[in-house]
Structure 1
């Protein structure tokens, strides 16, 4: 039987094209049905080409002005919902369906679902609870005895910073390096039960890894959204450096683990974790998980607190009148004491307001910590698909011109009431984020910021020669000040005798 050749029939070709077109339209409508509003996204790359790689938080904040406090974009292959309203952020991040982590290769893929930052589900719940309890037992509480122990631990680092700053004799100094040595060793002491001298080769390596790692994660950020980039030499080499650094850090932790004895006091996270591992009560406790937990605590704790302190001192160096008011308050409360204590915090509202204003005006995590959705869900009437990355845009919240008049002005009085007392009812202030995955070390961070900030300003006047453009910041994992030097000049010689080496 002879069949007619219909392969090139014009009518059939037209009908097939029409059918394919209709199917594409139906698919597009279904795909975008009830999604939040947002800009048009290009195939494959999405909105990435239009985002400022140096200041992505500015681009995303500008989009909120056009599309509203909840909008949808594609970043490469990653579906993304950006939220800029703190009430909606709090509502979303308190829900279980928003507790997943965004599936980003450079961060999530390298960590392989281990630690605290990349963990999800039951592993994350158990590990977070364990670490939070451990930190509380170490003194991250308001109970006097334990809190005093943590205070003394931090003050060792403050004394170390003052000792190193005094060695500069009022000459321009790299505050980043000095603060990293002192603050970093406080974190090391709490997490690892170990401190290093400034020039110890192991510590020098870890510091370089912190600084270079922050830079490289920023460079390789696009590979999170365009997976094929990881095979391009520039990205491939950077990712290899991060992986090699991770393995080297884990080897250092492994040696510290081996040095811990069962009878050692449980006065650091590593010791407490080792005891739990030895007990063998949970499948979520493993050597690999421990390495990632320790790295998360050391890395995230140091990076964010260090960046905040650097912004704090830089803004006070630029705003000398505000610095003088802080020092007048410190002198009034501390009297002849050269060293603050945590109990002083309640009597130093202006000092606290300056620390909060530094956290507001330069959010050290301007994009917020990305979350993800476990399943298809809804938010404020919009459909949010499964595996969508949620960005609680901290920069937009902290720089909202309606909530904060003249948001680029450093004005600590925002955090004081009419009686110059602390005003803690700021809806648009979320330095530690909200919800089930908010920063678990928020109370420790407050202790560190207060004791380092107040302790150094009680002893030194801080000044800077550079122009104000250093206030723009450099965005990697965190938003840090541009390179600059600060002068720390004695207000008066402190009575405390600072030993040449406070770590040993």
Structure 2
């Protein structure tokens, strides 16, 4: 009898302790031991499961994903409030996406290292032309237009045949990013560039399928996960070796017109402990990877949705013709006169958030949010999908309607609270202005020259538009046809390689 009494007492004390520990947490579903809520999350579309939970538990709720404490936020006002605070600037402790990086770079860095490196890179990008001031952004604009011309050259070479736009856009857009970050571009068939492109495409997929290993560390020893993680690690080391060779080739007297050159100058000065070769490799990889993946995915969604919605595409092209007239090529100054074109780009960002789970954050310390206790080392998910597909903020959210981003006078409406493609706060996307430049010049430039149509059976479109979720949410595999609206006057030539 005494034994049972002690067992009952221990159980009661444990229950009381759990209640005291959790009573001030945000509401949320019951979590299973060890695995938490993971078994109930759709591995193909986790953002849908998490959005559905918000309808039951509210705009801020708590779950456990394996061993990772997690708070999901679906209200943009709460997201902004949280991510602007220092106690929410930590990184979530995720093995595949952050543990591999060992706290280096921009994505995985924290504390003073992160603050200093972010400031350094942001200043470098501004000096390269990532600014709104017209007189200072011309160099960046011309750099991007080289890539736009390359894309048009390659698309025209397809002669209206069905094409996987991912390949052509990756060659042109990817080399714009390479030029800005590395001061280097590659020809389409260059073996080194083919290898780097395969790393980008395969890496996006592998991080998606190894996601569970972020939350259940023991999974990394299971063959499927182990092989995928090995591929990612080998790819990281190979990429760093390529960067190392580019570093060695760069001379001190070379122009400081790319991130690698600027970083090398800082390294040579030797004035700061947070600058190292390893840190540089990770910074370059973060900028090349994140800058290419997200912008590429957004452009692919943009062209796909306009190919499906031909009437909307015609309106864009009518606006482009009206403003550009005989010019075949847009410039950044044209944005203010092309509100419908810009609205279509924003609607593509809204309807298919390329980072549907948002950029995960973490908490430095025990803190509070909206009256709830948030423990130290909690992962914070600012759920972009839920924000962008909120049926109250956006009527018929699954419909592609650019008018959402226009006011009653057909002018751009830039006051959309429920639109956060670059997120908020101290860790928001530092290349947001560059991304806007890229999206506009590539999107408007290609649509001025080509009519885009989809070359898929109607019954396949639903699956294609659902997308495939890895690091980013991409369209399902599909083919598009790019046919000349009229033969452009500009003689597009292949990019200059150096």
What TM-score comes out, normalization by structure 2 length?
Answer: 0.98
Residues 174-198 of structure 1 show CA distances to partners (whole Å, capped at 9, x for unaligned) of 1000000000000000000000000
Output the CA distance in 1 between the equivalents of 2:398 and 2:145. Answer: 32
CA spacing shift, 1:215–1:381, aligned 2, 3 Å: same
SS of the counterpart of 1:27?
A: helix
Residues 55-84 of structure 1 show CA distances to partners (whole Å, capped at 9, x for unaligned) of 000000000000000000000000000000
Residues 213-255 of structure 1 show CA distances to partners (whole Å, capped at 9, x for unaligned) of 0000001000000000000011000000000000000000000
Shifted more, 18-27 versus 132-141: the winner is 18-27
Question: How far did residue 122 of structure 1 move?
Answer: 0.2
Output the CA distance in 1 between the equivalents of 2:313 and 2:117. Answer: 41
Matched residues, number:
494
Residues 15-45 of structure 1 show CA distances to partners (whole Å, capped at 9, x for unaligned) of 2112211221122112212000000000000
- Contact preservation (8 Å) 2:29, 2:63: yes
Question: How far did residue 501 of structure 1 move?
Answer: 4.5
Output the CA distance in 2 between the equivalents of 1:57 and 1:430. Answer: 16
Shifted more, 267-276 versus 30-39: the winner is 30-39
**Alignment partner, residue 88 of structure 1:** 78
Output the CA distance in 2 between the equivalents of 1:359 and 1:479. Answer: 11
- Contact preservation (8 Å) 1:47, 1:74: yes
Q: Which ranges of structure 1 fall in alignment gaps of 5 or more residues?
A: 1-10
Output the CA distance in 1 between the equivalents of 2:169 and 2:363. Answer: 37
Residues 367-399 of structure 1 show CA distances to partners (whole Å, capped at 9, x for unaligned) of 000000000000000000000000000000000
**Alignment partner, residue 433 of structure 1:** 423
Q: Quick one: which of 356, 365, 373 aligns to 1:375?
A: 365
- Contact preservation (8 Å) 1:367, 1:395: yes
Question: How far did residue 467 of structure 1 move?
Answer: 4.3
- Contact preservation (8 Å) 2:28, 2:62: yes
SS of the counterpart of 1:111?
A: coil
- Contact preservation (8 Å) 1:215, 1:477: yes
Question: How far did residue 161 of structure 1 move?
Answer: 0.0
Residues 335-377 of structure 1 show CA distances to partners (whole Å, capped at 9, x for unaligned) of 0000000000010000000000000000000000000000000
Residues 463-492 of structure 1 show CA distances to partners (whole Å, capped at 9, x for unaligned) of 003246311100000000000000000000
Q: Quick one: which of 107, 112, 119 aligns to 1:122?
A: 112
CA spacing shift, 1:290–1:500, aligned 2, 3 Å: closer
Q: Which ranges of structure 2 fall in alignment gaps of 5 or more residues?
A: none
Q: Quick one: which of 55, 60, 69 aligns to 2:50?
A: 60
SS of the counterpart of 1:39?
A: coil
Question: How far did residue 107 of structure 1 move?
Answer: 1.0
Output the CA distance in 2 between the equivalents of 1:274 and 1:502. Answer: 24
Shifted more, 139-148 versus 48-57: the winner is 139-148
**Alignment partner, residue 240 of structure 1:** 230
Output the CA distance in 1 between the equivalents of 2:16 and 2:265. Answer: 57
Output the CA distance in 2 between the equivalents of 1:313 and 1:215. Answer: 22
Question: How far did residue 142 of structure 1 move?
Answer: 1.9
Question: How far did residue 144 of structure 1 move?
Answer: 2.5
Question: How far did residue 503 of structure 1 move?
Answer: 3.2
SS of the counterpart of 1:450?
A: helix
Output the CA distance in 1 between the equivalents of 2:354 and 2:291. Answer: 12
Output the CA distance in 2 between the equivalents of 1:400 and 1:305. Answer: 23
- Contact preservation (8 Å) 2:297, 2:472: yes
- Contact preservation (8 Å) 2:356, 2:383: yes
Output the CA distance in 2 between the equivalents of 1:150 and 1:339. Answer: 15
Shifted more, 460-469 versus 199-208: the winner is 460-469
Query: Is 1:478 matched with 2:468?
Result: no
Output the CA distance in 2 between the equivalents of 1:242 and 1:260. Answer: 27
Output the CA distance in 2 between the equivalents of 1:132 and 1:459. Answer: 33
- Contact preservation (8 Å) 2:141, 2:331: yes
- Once the two structures are superposed, the pairs formed by residues 46-195 of structure 1 within 5 Å of their partners are 46-195=36-185
- Contact preservation (8 Å) 1:415, 1:422: yes
Residues 259-306 of structure 1 show CA distances to partners (whole Å, capped at 9, x for unaligned) of 011101100000000000011111000000000000000000000000
- Contact preservation (8 Å) 2:147, 2:495: no
Output the CA distance in 1 between the equivalents of 2:56 and 2:495. Answer: 55
- Contact preservation (8 Å) 2:203, 2:232: yes
**Alignment partner, residue 500 of structure 1:** 494
- Contact preservation (8 Å) 1:277, 1:285: yes
CA spacing shift, 1:345–1:59, aligned 2, 3 Å: same
Shifted more, 294-303 versus 143-152: the winner is 143-152
Output the CA distance in 1 between the equivalents of 2:455 and 2:230. Answer: 39
**Alignment partner, residue 6 of structure 1:** none
Question: How far did residue 329 of structure 1 move?
Answer: 0.2
Shifted more, 15-24 versus 119-128: the winner is 15-24
Residues 70-106 of structure 1 show CA distances to partners (whole Å, capped at 9, x for unaligned) of 0000000000000000000000000000000000000
C-alpha RMSD of the superposition: 0.7
Output the CA distance in 2 between the equivalents of 1:47 and 1:466. Answer: 37
- Contact preservation (8 Å) 2:184, 2:497: no
- Contact preservation (8 Å) 1:160, 1:502: no
Question: How far did residue 143 of structure 1 move?
Answer: 2.4
What TM-score comes out, normalization by structure 1 length?
Answer: 0.97
Output the CA distance in 2 between the equivalents of 1:138 and 1:146. Answer: 8
